[in-house]
A and B are shown apart, each in its own frame.
Chain A
Amino acid sequence: MTLPALLEQSVAFLLPYEFSPTVLLACIVAGLLYQRGWRRAGGGIGQAVMFWIGLVGMYVMLQTQFEYYAQHSFFMHRLQHLVLHHVAPFLIAVSAPSAIIGAGLPEVIHRHVVTPMRRNRVLRSLYAAIQEPLVSGAIFVGLIYFWLIPSIHFYAMLNVPLYNAMNWGMAIDGLLFWWMIFNLRAPGVSDTRHYGYRLLVLVLVMFPQIALGAYIALSNHDLFGIYAACGRILPITPLVDQSIGGLLTWVPAAMMSVVGGLVLISRWKHQSQQLDTPVSSTPNLGCAR
């Protein structure tokens, strides 16, 4: 293939299959705020790379021709959700972007939007409730199961608002879950969500995902007839498509729990070391501000 033809094909792939101004705007705003905050607050390179891979990953899943494949192949659909619910939000949350995005937010928004929202009791208690590790874990797994109920899946693939709600829900829930896993309160404030508790939740969410993935992968009949009804575009048989989709729900999804656990353990160890040697590791004691 010649270079111009390759370029043309790449550009064609990157154009949205179904243009959504909301997705575009959300990604641009998040990117701009991050960039602005990163320059002001001086974040690390590694952190920025993870954040950007996560953000671009979400955008690619929703606003390129990938979407066409995700609508017409079960395993591509599972891949889309793996990125939207596991990989991209994981990377964004593990990059600890809140301080950077906070620094990027204009003062007006801080004063008139963020602060009142933080003070609002209802919002605070709701947020605390869904960030409670066991609740968050239950929603995380519950959503995967909910959208894979064959009759629900059928309507979700046909109805555009329902389909968009499914994908947005996956992305938002992914962010909330991994945020709960990796977010630490400000130093000094007691954190009820102990590392051990979050590790436990990471382990607990793994099993239902393995069970569901295995059930789909090993099923010997077509569970999701909607793909046959709407036409498949990849040259594989329905059962192969379904098995790969099941494997994607099973193995990499569960692996993300393992990776998340390793990150938590290393952070836990790091924190305990700091606590063990208080004199050397606290030169500023907060006075530097």
Chain B
Amino acid sequence: MSRLKTLLTLCLFPLVLLGCSEEPPGGWHGHDITGVMPDLEFELTNHNGEQVTAEEYRGKITMMFFGYTSCPHVCPVALRKLAAATRDLGDQADQVEILFVAVDPTRDKKVLDEYVAGFNPSLVGLTGTQEQLKEVAKRYRVAFSYEEPQEDGFYIVNHSGAVFVFGPQGKIRLLVDEETKTANITEDLRHLIEESKS
């Protein structure tokens, strides 16, 4: 019976935590997931072929998105939106880093540097071995899978649509879904930057 009580406490505690996190006056546009997920942590290879960890990006607000370079629609649209939202911050844009985790290393590795340079501001492209990628995906409870190749050898990769936003200390803050508008992302980013200053 006491177990049930513990369970109830366990269930309700995170909800209490959620209620405690600071909200901007108009509320967040993304989902506030402060304390709900683990801090930003990974061991991957960046688009220059260097081994990097999350430590590299401490001090900046980071937006992490999972996708693949051959992605025909979803990824380019989402990444362009994130880049535009960052650009609209003006001189605060350098306080934000977009981390694009490419989950199709076979095709992504060769073209990743070129791909990320195509965005303004450019993204940080990250990829790795299947084990490394699966570990990051599992940490953020996202999934990716490969569909059967078509006749021309092209195959679709199923991946998540969410953007995970972390504070400058690598603490998880927001989950931004596909429907969120660019201006709203900019607004959330601005609040996060202001919050980190105070």
Could you tell me which A residues sit within 8 Å of B by CB distance? 18, 68, 71-72, 123, 126-127, 130, 154-155, 157-162, 165-166, 168-169, 172, 225, 228-233, 235
Chain B residues, CB < 8 A from A154: 31
B7 touches A230 (CB 8 A): no
Known: A155-B18, A155-B36, A172-B7. A231 touches B158 (CB 8 A): yes
User: How far is B175's CA from A198's CA once the two chains are assembled, in angstroms?
Assistant: 45
User: How far is B134's CA from A231's CA once the two chains are assembled, in angstroms?
Assistant: 13
Closest to A123 in B: B1
Residue B3 at the chain A interface, CB threshold 8 Å? yes
B177 touches A72 (CB 8 A): no
B8-16, B39-47, B48-56: which lies at the interface: B8-16
Number of interface residues of B (CB under 8 A): 32
Chain A residues, CB < 8 A from B168: none
B143 touches A228 (CB 8 A): no
Chain B residues, CB < 8 A from A165: 7, 10-11
In the assembled complex, how far is the CB of residue A52 from the closest CB belonging to chain B, in whole angstroms?
23
Contact of B143 among A127, A168, A232 (CB under 8 A): A232
Residue B147 at the chain A interface, CB threshold 8 Å? yes
Chain B residues, CB < 8 A from A130: 1, 4
Known: A126-B1, A158-B33. A169 touches B160 (CB 8 A): no
Task: Jot down 21 A-B pairs with beta carbons below 8 A, ordered by A.
Answer: A71-B143, A123-B1, A126-B1, A155-B14, A155-B15, A158-B36, A158-B37, A160-B141, A162-B14, A165-B7, A165-B10, A165-B11, A229-B161, A229-B162, A230-B162, A231-B66, A231-B137, A231-B143, A231-B145, A232-B143, A235-B147
User: How far is B36's CA from A230's CA once the two chains are assembled, in angstroms?
Assistant: 14
Chain A residues, CB < 8 A from B36: 155, 158-159, 162
B11 touches A228 (CB 8 A): no
User: How far is B31's CA from A233's CA once the two chains are assembled, in angstroms?
Assistant: 23
A230 touches B160 (CB 8 A): yes
Chain B residues, CB < 8 A from A169: 7, 11
B144 touches A231 (CB 8 A): yes
A159 touches B1 (CB 8 A): no
User: How far is B11's CA from A72's CA once the two chains are assembled, in angstroms?
Assistant: 21
In the assembled complex, how far is the CB of residue B118 from the closest CB belonging to chain A, in whole angstroms?
24
Chain B residues, CB < 8 A from A71: 141, 143
Chain B residues, CB < 8 A from A158: 33, 36-37, 141, 175
A233 touches B143 (CB 8 A): yes
Contact of A231 among B14, B37, B142, B175 (CB under 8 A): B142
Q: Which of B108-154 contact A (CB under 8 A)?
A: 137-138, 140-145, 147
Could you tell me which B residues sit within 8 Å of A by CB distance? 1-4, 7, 10-11, 14-15, 18, 31, 33, 36-37, 66, 137-138, 140-145, 147, 158-162, 175, 177-178
Closest to A117 in B: B1
In the assembled complex, how far is the CB of residue A248 from the closest CB belonging to chain B, in whole angstroms?
20
Closest to B31 in A: A154
A228 touches B7 (CB 8 A): no
Closest to A147 in B: B11
A231 touches B1 (CB 8 A): no
Closest to A122 in B: B1
In the assembled complex, how far is the CB of residue A145 from the closest CB belonging to chain B, in whole angstroms?
14
Chain A residues, CB < 8 A from B66: 231
In the assembled complex, how far is the CB of residue B32 from the closest CB belonging to chain A, in whole angstroms?
10
User: How far is B138's CA from A233's CA once the two chains are assembled, in angstroms?
Assistant: 13
A172 touches B3 (CB 8 A): yes
B159 touches A231 (CB 8 A): yes
Closest to A225 in B: B177
User: How far is B147's CA from A126's CA once the two chains are assembled, in angstroms?
Assistant: 52
Closest to A126 in B: B1
In the assembled complex, how far is the CB of residue B173 from the closest CB belonging to chain A, in whole angstroms?
13
Chain A residues, CB < 8 A from B143: 68, 71-72, 230-233
B177 touches A228 (CB 8 A): yes
Chain A residues, CB < 8 A from B147: 235
- Which of A130, A154, A230, A231 lies at the interface centre, i.e. has the most chain B CB atoms within 10 A of its CB? A231
- Which of A127, A159, A235 lies at the interface centre, i.e. has the most chain B CB atoms within 10 A of its CB? A159
Closest to A166 in B: B11
Given A229-B160, A229-B178, 20 more pairs with CB closer than 8 A: A123-B1, A130-B4, A155-B14, A155-B15, A158-B36, A158-B37, A158-B141, A161-B14, A162-B14, A168-B7, A225-B177, A228-B177, A228-B178, A230-B141, A230-B142, A231-B66, A231-B143, A231-B144, A231-B159, A233-B158
